[in-house]
Amino acid sequence: SVTLTLEEALDACARIAATIHTSGIAIGQERTLATELEALRGTMLLVRRITPALGELLLEWADRVEQAAGQSEPLAPGFSHGDFSYTQLIFAGAQSGLVDFDTVCQAEPALDLGQFLAYLRLAALKSKKPAAAHAAQLGERFLQTYLAAADRTPAEQECLRRRVALFETVSLLRLALHSWQKLKGTRLEHVLVILEERIACLS
């Protein structure tokens, strides 16, 4: 049987995302960057009551994302998976597919892409290879394959990259909150390391 390399599997993930986003399916509630941040802030306030330093840090980073978002125009919403990560994809030899459509929505494509990259970056940090360089290389390959499959114009590509960076940071903030809630200290530490670097890149 054929076994895909990591790079080939990433390409398959990117093409699946592009297929979803260009499908024109008009179902699902709208999700925006603003509503995503608003939903997280409630939990951040709870964190601040129990773990003040962490809560303040996450709230500050959420504000930084909101400020950076004002410097780019959102892309038109379209059909999105809503929980797109490598954990939602299945492979059988050279065949691949996507599962769990409970979270489908209308959103910028950057919502799915940002979440995928957030999980990819976390997985790279936990791997044996140099995390930052490895994650950046894999993430760029994923985005390049996606952009080619989705047939975006150069102007759309530039805007999409900016929006993906924002949504990736939002996904990382969500991961930090989930790690805190589930008492997963090591994962929380990993996510905070990545978040610090991604927040700096937004500036």
pLDDT band at 89 (very low <50, low <70, confident <90, very high): confident
Answer yes or no: are the C-beta atoms of 90 and 146 closer than 8 Å: no
pLDDT band at 17 (very low <50, low <70, confident <90, very high): very high
Give the number of other Cβ atoms within 10 Å of residue 98's Cβ. 15
Q: Cα(99)–Cα(85) distance, rounded to whole angstroms?
A: 10
Measured between alpha carbons, how far is residue 69 from residues 63, 64, 123, 157, 168 in Å? 10, 9, 26, 16, 12
Residue 1 burial (CB < 10 Å; 0-12/13-18/19+)? exposed
Q: Cα(85)–Cα(119) distance, rounded to whole angstroms?
A: 7
pLDDT tens for residues 57-67? 999 999 999 99
pTM of the model: 0.93
What is the predicted pLDDT for the residue at 131? Answer: 56
Residue 114: is its pLDDT beyond 60?
A: yes
pLDDT tens for residues 135-177? 788 899 999 999 999 988 888 899 999 999 999 999 999 999 9
Give the mean model confidence (pLDDT) for residues 115-119: 96
Residue 50 burial (CB < 10 Å; 0-12/13-18/19+)? exposed
Per-chain mean pLDDT for the chain: 92
Pairing relationship of beta strands 105-107 and 29-31 according to DSSP bridges: parallel
CB neighbour burial string for 152-178, b if at least 16 within 10 angstroms, e if fewer? beeeeeebbebbbbbbbbbbbbbbbbe
Q: Cα(91)–Cα(6) distance, rounded to whole angstroms?
A: 12
